[in-house]
A = this chain, B = another copy of it.
Amino acid sequence: MAEAKDMGGAAVGQTLPFLDAPEKAAGAALYLDDLRLPGMLTGRALRSAHAHARIVSVDAREARQVPGVAAVLTGADLPDGPRMIPHRRGAPLVARDRVRYMGDVVALVAAETEGAAEAALERIRVEYEPLPVAQDPREAMAAQAPRLWPEGNLLNHAKIRNGDVEEGFRRADVVVENEYQTPSGEHLYLEVESAAVAPLPGGGCQIWGCTQQPFLVRQNAARALGLKGETAVRFVQTIPGGAFGGKSEASLDVCLRAALLARAAQRPVKLVYSREESMIASSKRHAAFIRSRTGAARDGRIVAAEVEVYLDKGAYAANGGDNPPAFKRATYHALGPYQIPNVKVDVYCVHTNHPYGGQMRGPGCPQVHFACEQQMDELARALQIDPIELRRINGLKVGARTPWNQRLPESVGLLETLAKAEEASGWSGRRGGGRRAPDGRLRGVGVASCLYGTGNAYSPAEAHIFLTAEGRIQVAAGVVDFGQGSKTVLCQIAAETMDVPYGSFLMGAVDTAVDPFGGTSSSSRITMQGGKAVFQAALRARQEVLRLAGLLLEADPGDLELRGGLVRSRSHAETRVTLAELAKAYVADEHKLLGAADNIPPPAKTDHETGQGEPYEVYGFGTQVAEVLVDAETGEIEVTGVWAAHDVGRAISPLGVQQQIDGGVYMGVGFCLMEEVVQRGGRMLNPDMHGYLAPTVVDMPPVEGHIVEDPYSNGPYGAKGVGEQVTVPTAAAIANA
């Protein structure tokens, strides 16, 4: 109990061991590939041979004769409904008449062995009639461009209009105008898309897999299987081997395809994509083409900005159809964290015959910040103002209005991140130092800031808190911890709120049959949006513990208090009961619900024509300083240091925030210097880990993270979020350096 007294009620802001660290460190964590279901078959998919083609015929007769083959599914074997991925508009699970990118699947096979599945795939004859390929989103908007869809290739066009942008530019003393281009990116999660499915009586199934959206998988699987009611499908999360936003969407098709095969074979099926399939087929960071024009007065105040963004959406309307997160975020982050009176932003999301664009850590934001923050440095140079000073002059402050006319009443820590990054990096000293390192390489220092709309507007979360039979507290929030530490943070919030030691907490993998709806594990929303639900549930759970203790002790609950996991009477010091004793008395079975609550964030209120309004309820802010050494002869760039300061509202787990900063910076380094999905004619040229260069441990710069806490009154203990903003400014800081 000593331990409990020391830890209870002091969980938030403490660095506590990650909840899932022991099982991962011990190698006991079970990943999907470890799963063996009785009688399980191996699934395989036949991918398209073309980026764009009409399917003339598919002949699978020979494949069906291969010994050990239990099921072969072509487009002709499936009615229209089950052929499609509900959440990915237009995308087939098995294509029938048309393929629109090389990740499209034209046939599925389930067989006793991998060899038999492979042999069956080789015997499927597909006749294609190739079609011209759309590759560049700007060109794909033209009337004469190869069309993916009858209504044209433009998926959506978003705007921000405020003030008078032309008048603003007329009044500007300095105008800089540039074009930027950022490449398509690959998540390269260690664990490729994988699923195992067991058919259940009545047409339902149980799916094991790795996703950021368990309830979405359940819903989509139920629809694809034509089931009435989603609960006929049960989704059970296995330990995720990386996600980074990609498993918001890419996990859907592998689960649904495995489910179709399992139903056809009436046997369990495991489907694991190869690394090449994963890279060719999965969602990508949208390649972006950006035109920026920024005007400022001589005193540094930005008076006008105009941004035009073309996002390569690839073949399908993934991640929510017309208004996917990357598109919305590219729009509202294109102007950076600044006050600008006259603005015009146009973002075009355009279909091509590339892999579909999806969510990748801060979807849309690293791209538009790359442009915006280089514009800032160009302005600084033209105005001869220190780049940090220029950002300070224009930066959003409490009480300011964003360019889309959203008032920011609180929690705007940008200026503090500027000050912290400036001080920590020794900015002026480094800037004033020599232009060359002792070894002759050129030295450069750069800075970039960012804002990040935390969470999603109207993305509700629910949380349930249970007392287990052993007297531990179990949190269920229906959200996936893919390594970022969500479970840890949510349990810290519950521990602090209930005043029960963190060590008493448990949180399992998401199971849709058991867990409440938690929404997506993306948009840096779990701590803030899930955490608020957990906080409310924990308040109720605390009351319920006192009620039960009152029953057991035959005492007035009002005279009882819960501290350090122990219930005591205020008036009789010796009257006390532990959670284990309460559990023994009142947990009739596995566990008992103590409290449930939801968090319903306000809906986004934005005007369709002007973009003005409130797209996000609150924003995170950050500033990063990078120092680089460049070999002028070889062009080789070494990042020698990154100083990153981020306003997260409140760091529930300081260690977790630091880890996010490290990881975010590494990902930003890769985005800036190395990573590029290379495509020609719709064919990916580097679909493997040799061809696609990502930073390894030797490429990692030293990272110094600094946490700025400007609490958000509507976040749990003031917390906003951290997971994505930390990667947003890195590339621009390096480029500026």
Interfacial residues, chain A to chain B (CB-CB below 8 A): 30, 35-39, 198-202, 206, 208, 215, 218-219, 229-231, 234, 266-267, 460, 462, 464, 511, 513-514, 516-517, 519, 551, 586, 588-590, 592-593, 596, 598, 600
Contacts and interface: CB of A to CB of B under 8 A. Distances in A.
A41 to B, nearest CB: 11
Contacts of A514: 231, 513-514
A590 B230 contact: yes
B516 A513 contact: no
A229 B551 CA distance: 27
A707 B230 CA distance: 42
B230 A589 contact: yes
A36 B511 CA distance: 24
Q: How many copies does the complex hold?
A: 2
13 contacts: A36-B201, A38-B266, A218-B590, A230-B589, A230-B590, A460-B588, A464-B593, A513-B514, A517-B588, A517-B590, A586-B600, A593-B596, A596-B596
A230 B514 CA distance: 13
Contact of A39 (B35, B39, B464, B588): B39
Nearest to A266: B38
A584 to B, nearest CB: 12
A39 B265 CA distance: 10
A213 B483 CA distance: 39
Contacts of A590: 218, 229-231, 517
A16 B137 CA distance: 62
Contacts of A199: 38
Contacts of A200: 37, 198, 206
A600 to B, nearest CB: 6
A30 B598 CA distance: 35
B517 A462 contact: no
Contact of A511 (B39, B513, B519): B513
B39 A267 contact: yes
Contacts of A202: 30
Contacts of A198: 198, 200
Nearest to A219: B589
Contacts of A460: 586, 588
Given A35-B201, A514-B514, A586-B600, 20 more contacts: A36-B201, A38-B266, A39-B39, A198-B198, A198-B200, A218-B589, A219-B589, A230-B589, A230-B590, A231-B590, A234-B513, A462-B592, A462-B593, A516-B593, A517-B588, A517-B589, A517-B592, A519-B588, A551-B600, A592-B598
